[in-house]
């Protein structure tokens, strides 16, 4: 029996190359592969870098769906529906918008897949499929390691992705992670992690701990960093600003090889932070002080900002940009607020009648980088100002100015890495803008499971 795992791309413009920085190893697909029984043959296709051989024999297809890839996932499912192949979907979008995904998938895995996917596989073999497979809430993260054999022969960025912990205990209103995990946070066993990192160590120069908030459980994070020290690896991760309050945590991160950390600064305006339920960004520590402390531990900072909250004024774009340049931040992101379905901010905007599309992620008119809701500043102005801030931040004068931070360019190796990364992001400041969701070469309508049941869409 053969299982085909597909990782969908965000979209595609025929004849154009896909955006390189979006091509990291897709960890969800490796987890799916690990959950397929040993007696089943697994094929894996990464839609971002190769074409999908729809006519290759397969018994079923597994797709992990995110909001940005939903339209493309449904296009891929349509191709398989045409061929009478069963398609199963899971992931964030499938959990937060199960009714929608059920239209395009023969069955949907809701929540974490570690418990449900093996049940789905067994039901498929026994021909007793249900429409929804839900997790009981048991923590699968503790039992399964990703099967990276599926990545062999594919050209990914040379970064080892590892999931150390899952979820977050905070409740920022725009965050789909906390909506998916319902504010829960869990971690893997240290021995399991050490084994996984040790196996990859010789082939990866850098590890990315993909956890959304690496320090959500500080006691565990410290224990993990202590265990990492003898491995002599280099890694980057994501944390919240409260990290800067804990000298021991920063010291252990540095000693364990941490090169830099992404922190959601989100806004310089406390009123916005309050609205997004992210008070902890200003109640514990001032941004300036946090940056100083991170610099003291040579933890390079990737600060991310969102625009489109109601207290933003037009000058905030320039103010935020100046702040990042003045404080010589290594990398920064200037993005608009994205209302992901299933999050409190989406529900609020929907209730207030401010959404510009019924479902922006499926609308043919919608393009990446567009602000899909009404706010105080006009949506197209937010879009334009975000691009302007990115271009200016990754412009040569800004890069040159930010270079004079011991954290950013402390030695020749870092000097080279700093310029390389900043130039890469400079190239992409505009590249993603107006990118379509879904493959523009897809013709016809999406095919639903109901269409397939009517059997009037099957190809011979």
Residues that bind ligand SF4 in the complex, under the rule CB under 6 A: 168, 170, 172, 175, 177-178, 212-213, 240, 264
Closest CA to 269 of 355, 384, 377, 401: 377
List Cβ neighbours of 265 (8 Å cut-off, separation of 6 or more).
Answer: 241, 281, 287, 303, 304, 305
The least distance separating ligand SF4 from the CB of residue 92, rounded to whole angstroms, comes to 12
The least distance separating ligand SF4 from the CB of residue 264, rounded to whole angstroms, comes to 5
d(CA 397, CA 381): 24
State how far Cα 401 lies from the chain centre: 30
The least distance separating ligand SF4 from the CB of residue 284, rounded to whole angstroms, comes to 13
The least distance separating ligand SF4 from the CB of residue 168, rounded to whole angstroms, comes to 3
Measured between alpha carbons, how far is residue 293 from residues 183, 235, 287, 331, 443 in Å? Answer: 28, 19, 10, 17, 54
Measured between alpha carbons, how far is residue 148 from residues 168, 176, 199, 394 in Å? Answer: 25, 26, 11, 34
d(CA 174, CA 343): 6
Helices then strands, each counted (H, E), the chain: 18, 16
The least distance separating ligand SF4 from the CB of residue 255, rounded to whole angstroms, comes to 24
Q: Which residue has the tokens 């093996």?
A: 118
- Sign of the Cα torsion 442, 4, 66, 94 reads positive
The least distance separating ligand SF4 from the CB of residue 396, rounded to whole angstroms, comes to 32
The least distance separating ligand SF4 from the CB of residue 126, rounded to whole angstroms, comes to 38
Q: Which is nearer to ligand SF4, 214 or 235 (CB)?
A: 214
Q: How many residues are given for the chain?
A: 460
Task: Please say whether the beta carbons of 298 and 256 come within 8 A.
Answer: no
DSSP structure class, residue 108? E
């Amino acid at each position: 029996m053969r299982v085909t795992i597909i990782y969908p791309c965000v979209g595609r413009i025929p004849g154009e190359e896909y955006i390189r920085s979006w091509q990291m190893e897709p960890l969800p697909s490796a987890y799916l592969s690990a959950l397929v029984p040993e007696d089943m043959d697994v094929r894996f296709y990464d839609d971002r870098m190769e074409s999908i051989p729809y006519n290759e024999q397969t018994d079923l297809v597994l797709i992990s769906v995110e909001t940005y890839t939903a339209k493309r996932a449904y296009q891929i499912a349509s191709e398989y529906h045409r061929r009478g192949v069963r398609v199963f979907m899971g992931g964030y979008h499938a959990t937060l918008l199960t009714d929608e995904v059920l239209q395009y998938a023969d069955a949907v895995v809701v929540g974490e897949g570690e418990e449900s996917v093996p049940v789905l596989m067994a039901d498929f073999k026994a021909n007793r499929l249900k429409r929804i497979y839900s997790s009981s809430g048991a923590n699968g993260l503790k039992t399964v390691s990703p099967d990276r054999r599926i990545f062999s022969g594919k050209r990914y960025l040379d970064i080892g992705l590892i999931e150390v912990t899952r979820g977050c205990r905070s409740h920022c209103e725009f965050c789909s992670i906390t909506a998916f995990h319902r504010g829960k946070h869990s971690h893997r066993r240290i021995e399991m992690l050490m084994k996984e990192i040790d196996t990859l160590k010789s082939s990866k120069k850098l590890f990315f701990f993909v956890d959304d908030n690496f320090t959500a459980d500080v006691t565990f994070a410290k224990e993990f960093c202590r265990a990492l020290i003898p491995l002599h690896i280099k890694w980057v991760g994501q944390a919240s600003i409260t990290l800067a309050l804990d000298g021991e945590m920063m010291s252990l991160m540095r000693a364990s090889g941490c090169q830099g950390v992404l922190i959601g600064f989100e806004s310089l305006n406390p009123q916005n932070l309050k609205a997004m339920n992210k008070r902890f960004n200003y109640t514990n520590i001032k941004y300036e002080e946090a940056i100083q402390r991170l610099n003291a531990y040579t933890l390079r900072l990737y600060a991310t900002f969102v625009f489109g909250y109601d207290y933003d004024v037009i000058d905030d774009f320039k103010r935020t940009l100046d702040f990042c340049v003045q404080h010589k931040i290594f990398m920064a992101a200037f993005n608009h607020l994205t209302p992901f379905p299933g999050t409190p901010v989406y529900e609020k905007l929907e209730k207030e009648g401010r959404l510009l599309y019924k479902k922006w992620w499926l609308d043919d008119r919608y393009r990446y980088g567009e602000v899909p809701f009404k706010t105080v500043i006009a949506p197209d102005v937010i879009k334009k100002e975000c691009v302007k801030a990115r271009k200016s931040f990754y412009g040569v004068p800004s890069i040159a100015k930010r270079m004079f931070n011991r954290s950013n360019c402390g030695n020749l190796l870092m000097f080279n890495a700093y310029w390389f990364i900043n130039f890469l992001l400079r190239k992409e400041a505009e590249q993603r803008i107006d990118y379509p969701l879904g493959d523009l070469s897809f013709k016809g309508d999406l095919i639903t499971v109901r269409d397939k049941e009517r059997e009037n869409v099957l190809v011979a």
